[in-house]
Structure 1
């Protein structure tokens, strides 16, 4: 794993998302003070999940196709998406938010 400093907790307000220009590109979300990281690309098409519609139940809706994904598991919650999105471990240390990216993905 490669641990990447994503941002400070103050840089990502509750209910917002941040696109991380890592390899792969990651979408980082703050839902009720909990941070979640998923692959930024929708599994159904070429859409940035960081631009999606974040819900209070820790799901995000694709901005192009209205497919919904669970931020905790990456599971596709409705059509048109059927394939999950990769999720990544997130750690908060002090005021810093880190994401672990598998070595083969970075």
Structure 2
């Protein structure tokens, strides 16, 4: 029998500090960089690094609605699912569960 790796819930920040259409990087204690997006008032989280060229999506990317485009090679992803939208990207982004409580945002990673 295999067991699933345990996940930890991290406090990210106050939800009021990230407006619709904005994104922010969160670096976890193990140095993983997570990109957090506010899409029309709903929060989503993915790995911050583009799966094609390794660019930071929060630093180099352009968020338009649900789509984040990497400015290095113009590949893009749907931030709500992590799925590739345009090439040259070919591998989906990892997504993370997001929850809100008492005005705070939490990431399960």
Q: Runs of 4+ in structure 1 displaced over 2 angstroms? A: none
Q: What are the residue-to-residue correspondences of 1:13-24 with 2, within 5 Å?
A: 13-22=19-28, 23-24=31-32
Q: Equivalents in 1 of 2:62, 2:105: separation in Å?
A: 21
Q: Tell me, yes or no, if structure 1 residue 11 matches structure 2 residue 20.
A: no
Aligned length: 100
C-alpha displacement of 1:63: 2.2
The corresponding residue for 1:97 is 105
- Hey, what's the Cα distance between the residues in 2 that align with 1:19 and 1:4? 13
1:77 lines up with 2:85 in the alignment: yes
Measured after TM superposition, the shift of residue 25 of structure 1 is 0.7
Distance (Å, rounded) in 2 between the aligned partners of 1:7 and 1:63:
26
TM-score normalised per structure 1: 0.90
Q: Which has the larger radius of gyration?
A: 2
1:86 equivalent in alignment to 2:100? no
Gap regions ≥5 residues in structure 2: 1-6
Question: For 1:85, what is the secondary structure of its paired residue?
Answer: coil
Q: Where does residue 3 of structure 2 map in the other structure?
A: none
Question: For the residues of structure 1 that align with 2:43 and 2:87, how far apart are their CA atoms?
Answer: 25
Match of 2:64 in 1: 55
Unaligned runs of 5+ in 1: 102-106
Note the alpha carbon deviations across 1:48-89, whole angstroms, 9 max, x for none: 111311112x11111211111011211111111011010000
RMSD (CA atoms): 0.9
